[in-house]
């Protein structure tokens, strides 16, 4: 009897601790991630579709928009079938996740990821995979076969995005090394920027490589929608309705506004006129640069990151691309790749442990974090570049990559889809 009176209270106490430690659904966190998922979806459709579609030539508008649309659809199915499992399943050797959740096996209505339904986490991460591959299209527009793009999307999400997402966010080796990437500096933007650069080099230059937007209001509308959706992208990556989400949202806005103005004034001094296209491009440079740092730095760090990204990306697009001679049609590498690298490295400088105890940068006594950030950049650049080249050569063997010269002259709206964006009599 004495033993029972001792054991029973201990069991009750241990059960109470187990209940406290078990994950519990938080309705506030769930509501915020529902909104964030919708916001990130909005970034691809219609945000990126309009941003890219407005920058393309008039005869290629619909094809450019269609590339974002089909990328979102295909990435959704890849993610559901096996992408989520391989990215966020139980780690295997630091390289890939397990196949235990293929076709979302075992992920039910009551499954939780921290304080939100796991199905919602699946949806949130799906939108990241979709916009990442859609970003790549901006380097390849106006000369890539639509059939080749379909093949590329499936293979690239499967073989490039999924592994890198696991390395950084799914418990892989870069996470173990201590790499900081709050919302996708390496996983999304460096990854897409390098893929775009490699694709542009392999495809070769267009007959007319001049960037002459067919509809600047569409570009500005797309940029505005991207800025709006990016609050879900960055603040949603806190995976909760909390102070960290608030910091990430404010940092996103400050860095973006700073980079947009920095690009505008740099262009104004260099070319004597501040263009609307330049202002919109500066917005994107700011959004990209703060993405890896949004939940790690304070507002001053966000300001410096935006101030750095705006002018550097401007000169990358205005001068360096021309000197190097590659035809990155809509400047995916010059903005996403370069701003992503800037943001990733400066995260290692400005990460403030009072904002997020998971990150401590150079200014707070940890110079090794900069080395770790550079290492994560190098790994992403090498892997994305090599695998993108292989995938493009596979697509070339299956369908060919470039449209015929006469199809490029006619425009891809007519040659690939039999339609026109502007049916003006």
pLDDT in tens, 78-126: 999 999 999 999 999 999 999 999 999 999 999 999 999 999 999 999 9
Integer distance in angstroms from the first to the last C-alpha of the chain?
96
Residue 127 predicted with pLDDT over 60: yes
Per-residue pLDDT, 424: 75
pLDDT at 6 over 60: no
Residue 112 — φ and ψ, nearest 5°?
-115, 145
pLDDT of residue 15: 41
Percent of the chain with pLDDT strictly greater than 90: 93
- Reported as a single tens digit per residue, the pLDDT across 7-42 is 555 445 444 444 456 789 999 999 999 999 999 999
**pLDDT averaged over the chain?**
95
Q: What is the pLDDT of residues 154-186, one digit of tens each?
A: 999 999 999 999 999 999 999 999 999 999 999
Per the DSSP assignment, residues forming a β-bridge with 402 are 144
The whole-number pLDDT of residue 9 equals 53
Percentage of the chain exceeding pLDDT 70: 95
Q: What is the largest CA-CA distance in the chain?
A: 96
In total, the chain counts a number of residues equal to: 425
- Classify 93 in phi/psi space as left (phi over 0), alpha (psi -120 to 50) or beta: left
**C-alpha to C-alpha distances, 158 to 84, 233, 288, nearest whole angstrom:** 10, 21, 23
- DSSP symbol at 144: B
Say how far residue 217 (Cα) sits from the centre of its chain: 24
Question: Model-level pTM greater than 0.85?
Answer: yes
SS3 state at 113 = strand
Q: What is the pLDDT of residue 423?
A: 85
Asked if pLDDT for residue 4 goes beyond 90, the answer is no
Whole-angstrom distance, CA of residue 350 vs CA of residue 367: 10
* Cα angle value 280/128/187 (rounded, 5°): 90
- Quote the pLDDT of residue 21: 64
- Residue 403 DSSP symbol: P
pLDDT of residue 23: 80
Higher pLDDT, 425 or 238: 238
Non-local (6+) Cβ contacts of 134 within 8 A are 44, 48, 49, 67, 68, 71, 72, 75
DSSP class of residue 273 equals S
- Distance, CA of 333 to chain centre: 13
CATH number for the domain formed by residue range(s) 28-408: 1.10.3430.10
- Per-residue tokens: 137: 């299209």
Q: What tokens appear for 135 in the block? A: 């970003």
Domain borders along the chain are: 28-408
Give which of 204, 312, 208, 295 is closest to 258, Cα–Cα.
312
């Amino acid at each position: 009897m004495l033993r029972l009176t001792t054991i029973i209270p201990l069991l009750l106490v241990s059960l109470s601790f187990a209940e406290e430690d078990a994950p519990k659904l938080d309705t506030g966190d769930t509501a915020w991630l529902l909104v964030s998922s919708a916001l990130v979806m909005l970034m691809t459709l219609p945000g990126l579709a309009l941003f890219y579609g407005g920058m393309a030539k008039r005869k290629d508008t619909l094809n450019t928009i269609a590339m974002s649309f089909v990328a979102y659809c295909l990435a959704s199915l890849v993610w559901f079938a096996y992408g989520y499992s391989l990215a966020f399943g139980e780690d295997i050797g630091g390289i890939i996740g397990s196949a235990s959740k293929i076709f979302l096996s075992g992920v039910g209505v009551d499954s939780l990821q921290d304080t939100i339904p796991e199905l919602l986490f699946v949806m949130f991460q799906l939108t990241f995979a979709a916009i990442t591959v859609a970003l790549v299209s901006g380097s390849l527009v106006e000369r890539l076969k639509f059939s080749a793009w379909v093949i590329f999307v499936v293979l690239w999400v499967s073989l490039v995005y999924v592994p890198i997402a696991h390395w950084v966010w799914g418990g892989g080796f870069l996470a173990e090394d201590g790499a900081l990437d709050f919302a996708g500096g390496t996983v999304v933007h460096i990854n897409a920027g390098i893929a775009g650069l490699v694709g542009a080099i392999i495809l070769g230059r267009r007959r007319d490589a001049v960037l002459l937007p067919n509809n600047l209001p569409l570009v500005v509308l797309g940029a505005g929608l991207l800025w709006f959706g990016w609050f879900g992208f960055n603040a949603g990556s806190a995976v909760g309705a909390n102070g960290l989400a608030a910091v990430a949202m404010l940092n996103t806005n400050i860095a973006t506004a700073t980079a947009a103005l920095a690009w505008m004034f740099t262009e104004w001094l260099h070319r004597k006129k501040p263009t609307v296209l330049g202002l919109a491009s500066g917005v994107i440079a700011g959004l990209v640069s703060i993405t890896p740092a949004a939940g790690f730095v304070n507002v001053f760090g966000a300001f410096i990151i935006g101030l750095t990204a705006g002018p550097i990306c401007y000169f990358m697009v205005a001068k360096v691309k021309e000197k190097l001679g590659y035809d990155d049609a809509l400047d995916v590498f010059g903005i996403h790749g370069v701003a992503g690298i800037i943001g990733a490295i400066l995260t290692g400088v400005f990460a403030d442990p009072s904002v997020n105890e998971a990150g401590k940068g150079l200014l707070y006594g940890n110079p090794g974090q900069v080395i770790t950030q550079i290492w994560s950049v190098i790994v992403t650049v090498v892997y994305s570049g090599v695998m993108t080249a292989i995938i493009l050569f596979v697509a070339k063997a299956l369908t060919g990559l470039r449209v015929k010269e006469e199809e490029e002259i006619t425009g891809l709206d007519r040659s690939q889809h039999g339609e026109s964006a502007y049916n003006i009599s």
